[in-house]
Structure 1
Amino acid sequence: MRRQDAPRVRITQRQVAELAGVSQSTVSLVVNGKADARSRIPRATRERVLRVLREAEYVADPAARRLAGGMNRLVGVFTYEPAFPAASRDFYAALLTGIEHQAEQLGYDLLMFTSAPVTHGRRQLFHPANRLRLADGCLLLGLEMDDADLERLATSGLPFVAVGRRETPGVPYVAADYAGATAELVGQAWDLGHRRFAMIHRDSSGESVQDRLRGLIDELSRRDRGALGTAVIEAASTTGLEKEWRRVRRAGASVVFVESPEHALVVLDLARRDGVCVPDELSLVTLGDPARATPVELTRIVPPRTRLGAEALSLLGQILDPQVHLSTDELRVTLPCAIAPGATLAGPADERPAT
């Protein structure tokens, strides 16, 4: 009996072949899942090799298996931003929950690609330390993704799916319909009587940021032929929103759309400080969903983050399945967002009947 503290010896394919009485190439075919009818390996031989593998507790080297064209049932998750610090935890938690649940359902193990260092808040997908090829495929998460990275990955042969809409040709993705949900909320505000709109959005070129902005501008243009002159205000962080708040007030907006829930909470505080009552004097809509309870129930978009993670892994599983052939449209999936009515959107004060 092997002592508990004795070092574990890794058995090789050659030793498995000797124990099973077969060639090493036969063991390789079985380990890599290629011992099918085309390989002409008898079922009894395959079962004998599998029995020896189980008894020897053989674990295939994942890198060697990938080089041999085999599958490890291992999916990588690459996040451009750190996933676990407090600043990003709320964004990633629901996505990773959906990915983990779907991986369990499909029988995949997950590998977080964290060896690439974070530089200026972002990881490099093709950093020399990144071991993408250990996995059968990869999920990409991040607000902004480098177009050159995506183009290179699309031609690399490594299957992948991006979470979030990407404009780069040939990139499979699962995204939330932020433009449609934003347009729906603009329509609700318009129907309540609002005609003076402002928007505070992130200073970012990310597609999800641009989709929200497009949803607002396009819906206002549809409603009023673009004659409103909506104030569009960029904000780089949750600090220093004083300037943005002043611009909203100077614009005379009766409703402000704030992309980030964190920014929305800062705007609420600034409004209270200045004695501006929300929503009686100024309505506020946020185009995201805070992960934690807020002092006021915000009128907001609720993106399906958990489902986004699950559907992204499901799509990657289909791409990895040689029996499944997907059309171009099937490689790009858009999921609807829900709308939470909240308590921060009401008709403008000058449109309400006198009491």
Structure 2
Amino acid sequence: MAKRTRAPRQSDIARLAGVTQSTVSLVLNGRAAEESIPQTTQDRVHAAVKELQYVPNVAATSLRGGRNGLIGVHTFEPVFPVASDDYYHPFLVGIEEQAVELKVDLVLFASTQGDDGTRRIYANGTNRLRLADGAVMLGMEQNEEELVRLASEQYPFVFIGRRDGASAQLPYVAPDYHQALASVLEPLAEAGHRRIAYLGETARRNPQEARYEGFRAHVARLGLGSGDPLFIAPDELNAEVFHGILREGSTALVIENHDSATILAAIAQAVGLDIPRDLSVVVLDTVPDVSPARIWSQIRIPRRALGRRAISVLMELLDGTIPNTYHELLPVEPPSTATITSPHTSRSAIPT
């Protein structure tokens, strides 16, 4: 029988980094700055953690240190999403609802914002998040190195949104975009569409890439055709883009964001084309209620539910009932058929 390889310990980190075990403990517990441990020493410890793939026992750490019943919320966005029309506001509502249900208090970490408007977990070498038992993270402009460092210091947190790269194994809850794109492309295929175009954002982050990955996978599975994706900013859309989609033979279009959908609808109206008669459209985003009075076929991201689950997953992480690498995908509400119809057989309005 093969000998079981044991998990790396702090003593292994100390040996590899050439420091004492107490130094490793101080660095991993976020107390390096207060104990005046040089940055070069901290870097060696973090490098050893990464090389050994050390995964701390969050539950044991929590039991040693006790809990204060405070859960932190850290956003990487410049402003906390307190306005009702902010994209991230429903996440915050869900976080608050679940915190009330579980009888824990929330701490919004506002002082982490720097003079340049960015928010950092580590300011002046200290980790303000340690005021709370654990934290929920959200926002686009996250700092990958800080997240990896935070995990290496045994601080429990859950991210809202899929993670890739160095932080791919960190705990998160995210929308199931693979399932979502199946619910988008299957009704289009059933309506008779055989070639479907894709219009995406120019900024390619995890959510955008996850949407497009799902699109490609289900286009292949369903035997559909699709040209190269169009990654165009909303303010750069024009009639030629619309006509180009039609000329290449696409009878349906999947759009990543509601801004592009709204502009494209105005362009279609201006040139005498109609959505969905000349082009069926599905939006991979929730169009705000304040948008012009057009009902779109659109998926709905369960933002409120994601906020609630993030809190629950964090509490389970603190209790030690789930691993530190836990990932959970939540189902996305499928689109209606509002802007989906069968391909228009006579398209005389399309320029050649």
TM-score normalised according to structure 1 size: 0.71
* Percent identity of equivalent pairs: 34
The partner residue of 2:338 within 343, 350, 354 is 343
Q: Which runs of 5+ in 2 are unaligned?
A: 1-61, 348-352
Opposite residue 103 of structure 1, the aligned amino acid is: A
Alignment pair present for 1:253 and 2:250:
yes
Equivalent in the alignment of 1:313:
311
Opposite residue 340 of structure 1, the aligned amino acid is: P
Equivalent in the alignment of 1:126:
122
Deviation track 1:92-129 (CA, whole Å, cap 9, x = no partner) reads 11111100000111122212222233677743333438
CA shift, 1:77, in A, is 1.1
Distance 1:304 1:332 in 2: 16
Equivalent in the alignment of 1:147:
144
Contact 1:76 1:132 in 2 (8 A): yes
Contact 2:184 2:335 in 1 (8 A): no
Deviation track 1:38-74 (CA, whole Å, cap 9, x = no partner) reads xxxxxxxxxxxxxxxxxxxxxxxxxxxx9x9232211
Alignment pair present for 1:266 and 2:263:
yes
Corresponding residue pairs, total: 280
Opposite residue 207 of structure 1, the aligned amino acid is: N
Equivalent in the alignment of 1:106:
102
Equivalent in the alignment of 1:212:
211
Opposite residue 335 of structure 1, the aligned amino acid is: L
Equivalent in the alignment of 2:184:
185
CA shift, 1:245, in A, is 4.2
Distance 2:69 2:217 in 1: 44
Cα separation, partners in 2 of 1:320 and 1:138, compared to 1, 3 Å: same
Cα separation, partners in 2 of 1:158 and 1:130, compared to 1, 3 Å: closer
Equivalent in the alignment of 2:296:
298
Distance 1:234 1:75 in 2: 38
Distance 2:287 2:139 in 1: 17
Cα separation, partners in 2 of 1:211 and 1:317, compared to 1, 3 Å: same
CA shift, 1:239, in A, is 2.4
Opposite residue 277 of structure 2, the aligned amino acid is: D
Deviation track 1:176-233 (CA, whole Å, cap 9, x = no partner) reads 1012111221121112111221111122332221111011111111222x7x342311
CA shift, 1:332, in A, is 0.9
After TM superposition, the structure 1 = structure 2 runs for residues 5-154 of structure 1, keeping only pairs within 5 Å, are: 69-84=65-80, 89-117=85-113, 122-128=118-124, 131-154=128-151
Does the residue aligned with 1:91 lie in a helix, a strand or coil?
A: coil
Equivalent in the alignment of 1:36:
none
Equivalent in the alignment of 1:6:
none
Cα separation, partners in 2 of 1:244 and 1:70, compared to 1, 3 Å: farther
Q: Greater RCO between the two (CA within 8 Å, min separation 6)?
A: 2
Opposite residue 164 of structure 1, the aligned amino acid is: G
Contact 1:200 1:244 in 2 (8 A): no
Tell me how large the CA RMSD over aligned residues is. 2.8
Equivalent in the alignment of 1:156:
153
Cα separation, partners in 2 of 1:246 and 1:126, compared to 1, 3 Å: farther
CA shift, 1:84, in A, is 4.9
Does the residue aligned with 2:71 lie in a helix, a strand or coil?
A: strand
Cα separation, partners in 2 of 1:156 and 1:183, compared to 1, 3 Å: same
CA shift, 1:89, in A, is 4.2
Does the residue aligned with 2:208 lie in a helix, a strand or coil?
A: helix
CA shift, 1:241, in A, is 2.4
Contact 1:289 1:303 in 2 (8 A): yes
Opposite residue 278 of structure 1, the aligned amino acid is: I
Equivalent in the alignment of 1:289:
286
Opposite residue 147 of structure 1, the aligned amino acid is: E
Contact 2:78 2:113 in 1 (8 A): no
Equivalent in the alignment of 1:202:
201
TM-score normalised according to structure 2 size: 0.72
Opposite residue 71 of structure 2, the aligned amino acid is: V
Does the residue aligned with 2:235 lie in a helix, a strand or coil?
A: coil
Does the residue aligned with 1:339 lie in a helix, a strand or coil?
A: coil
CA shift, 1:145, in A, is 3.1
Distance 2:185 2:241 in 1: 20
Contact 1:143 1:208 in 2 (8 A): no
CA shift, 1:347, in A, is 1.1
Distance 1:342 1:312 in 2: 31
Does the residue aligned with 2:122 lie in a helix, a strand or coil?
A: coil
Distance 2:297 2:128 in 1: 42
Contact 2:170 2:324 in 1 (8 A): no
Equivalent in the alignment of 1:276:
273
Equivalent in the alignment of 2:4:
none
Q: Which has the larger radius of gyration?
A: 1
Contact 2:77 2:141 in 1 (8 A): no
CA shift, 1:342, in A, is 4.5
